[in-house]
Amino acid sequence: MVYTNVTYIDMKMAAEIVAVTKYHELIIPRKLWVHGGNKSTSARQNEFGHSSLLNEQGKMCCLGHLAKSCGLTDRQIKGKHDPSYLSNTAIKKISNTAFSYLFKFGKINSICSRLIEANDAVDGIQYKYFKSFYVKITQKERESKIRNLMLDIGVRVKFVD
């Protein structure tokens, strides 16, 4: 199996995180979760609002829920499309949390990219999954992918109604 440097670093980092930390528990209420959905003309904008850490309707993507659970405020995450848009103050605040493992030096890593892709994919539509192949996703598969990817950074996710 061939790994790119970024993927290898992410996998090594994830193994170290899980080995040395206690799991961070994250509960995502479906009614407050913005994701690709099933009535979208765009994976970034649909009946749930615009996909971002925290959108104008008060809904958050999976990364927004993680950011809040790691101590960031609504003001710090509102309107931010991904962790690379966070202020230096916000980055310092979460420097020793699970959220900090998703980016480095202002750039998101492959785990973060895959979380964004899984979160924002439109139900039943093919989308490019981590630059290599296409999959069709259902809501159940979306939640499973997010759960598995979050485990890579030491976060256990539970989706609730």
Full 3-state SS string of the chain: CCCCHHHHHHHHHHHHHHHHCCCEEEEEEHHHECCCCCCCCECCEECCEECCCECCCCCECHHHHHHHHCCCCHHHHECCCCHHHCCHHHHHHCCCCHHHHHEECCEECHHHHHHHHHHHCCCCCEEEECCCEEEECCHHHHHHHHHHHHHCCCEEEEEEC
Give how many domains the chain has, as a whole number.
Answer: 1
| pLDDT score for 134 | 52
- Looking at per-residue pLDDT, the higher value among 134 and 143 belongs to 143
Mean pLDDT over 42-53 rounds to 68
Q: Residue 137's domain spans which residues?
A: 5-160
Q: In this predicted structure, which of 4-13, 25-34, 46-55, 151-160 has the lowest mean pLDDT?
A: 4-13
Q: What is the pTM of this model?
A: 0.79
How do residues 72-110 score in pLDDT, each as one tens digit?
999 999 999 999 999 999 999 998 899 998 988 778 999
> Quick one: average pLDDT of 100-123?
87
pLDDT at 124 over 60: yes
